[in-house]
Amino acid sequence: MGKEALLEILNQSIAREIAVTIQYMWHHVTAIGLESAEVEEIFKKVAIEEMKHAEKFAERLDYLGGVPTTKPSPIVTGGSVEKMLKDNLKAEEEAIALYKKAIQICIENNDPVSRLLYEEILSDEEDHHNTFGTLLGK
């Protein structure tokens, strides 16, 4: 895999981060029910963190000569607070898998800076996964 694979995975990462930013912010706005007060601020906080991840990936992609995407990955919204948490948990699992793959691509391309970026963001995603899982009682 060459530089093109690195540029592609960075754009996939941007699309995913844009999507979950919207998804989590929409969940923050639309959460209703007795449990909503507990999770609204968590959804908002995580959405903002995801937006910052998109920015970091875009800056790295630009530095490497790529053009950041503006199209998000599919967004899942609606339903009960429990459904929102399950959807968000799944999104974090997808991010963890994608970013582990990205780290391997960075290693293959001898790009320690992108690798470090992915490792730092992977740590955040694992934290988000733990937060959503804990709220679900998992």
* Torsion sign (Cα): 65, 70, 76, 79: positive
Least confident among 23-37, 72-86, 113-127: 23-37
Q: Which helix (H) or strand (E) holds 4?
A: helix 3-30
- Distance between CA atoms of residues 107 and 116, nearest Å: 10
**Cα(31)–Cα(59) distance, rounded to whole angstroms?**
32
Could you tell me the pLDDT band of residue 125, with boundaries at 50, 70 and 90? very high
Domain boundaries, the chain: 3-135
The pLDDT score that the predictor gives to residue 1 is 61
DSSP state of 88: H
Query: Stretch 48-57: mean pLDDT, rounded?
Result: 98
**pLDDT value of residue 27:** 95
Residue 33 vs residue 6, higher pLDDT: 6
CATH number of 3-135: 1.20.1260.10
